[in-house]
Amino acid sequence: MDQEQPVYVLPQSKVRTIIPKTITLFVLSTIFYLGVLLNISLLELRGGQETLLKTITLILLIAIIGVGIFFSIRAARRPYLFYRDRILFGKKQIYYSNISNTSPHLDPIDGMFKTYSINLGGKFFLRHISQNIHLENYLQQLVQYAKRNRLST
């Protein structure tokens, strides 16, 4: 059985997806590590035990950061797939006839990375879209076409 081919493939901005998540991981890991250091200092441990706990905690945090970056990179590679009647992103999908909004939204981080997002409705977002890609009119045409065809059938 042939799989339906997407009409359009919209990539995410990889830099916009990866860098903020990586920074967040580093900041939260640092706070966590400082909390562990504070707790270890309050315990009455020998020098070797204290060093072992600090080392294990640091290795664990580095592993968590590595896994977080891996998942962030994997998510950044996933494109939005536009089909004849719907948009697919991973396991989430929205039919054009269910789209209620096509207006772009910029948050402060989007401004830094020259990206934007669109809340299509129904908790479906197009995120991390480069400002070089003008998607609003294209989406409006797809929605109008889907609604016209739904009414005529």
Average pLDDT over every residue of 94-105: 92
Cα dihedral 114/120/124/130 (nearest 10): -20
Give CA–CA dist 26/20, Å, rounded: 10
Q: How many CB atoms lie within 10 A of CB 140?
A: 13
Answer positive or negative: Cα dihedral of 74, 79, 83, 89.
positive
What pLDDT was estimated at residue 1?
43
CA-based nearest residue to 105, from 85, 120, 87: 120
Q: What are phi and psi of 120, to 5 degrees?
A: -80, -10
Burial (0-12, 13-18, 19+ Cβ within 10 Å), 115 = buried
Q: For 9-59, how does the pLDDT look when each residue is reduced to its tens digit (9 = 90+)?
A: 999 999 999 999 999 999 999 999 999 999 988 888 888 999 999 999 999
Tokens linked to 16: 């916009």
R_g (Cα) of the chain, nearest Å: 22
* C-alpha atoms less than 13 angstroms from C-alpha of 118 in its C-beta half-sphere: 24
pTM: 0.80
What pLDDT was estimated at residue 152?
55
Q: For 48-66, how does the pLDDT look when each residue is reduced to its tens digit (9 = 90+)?
A: 999 999 999 999 999 999 9
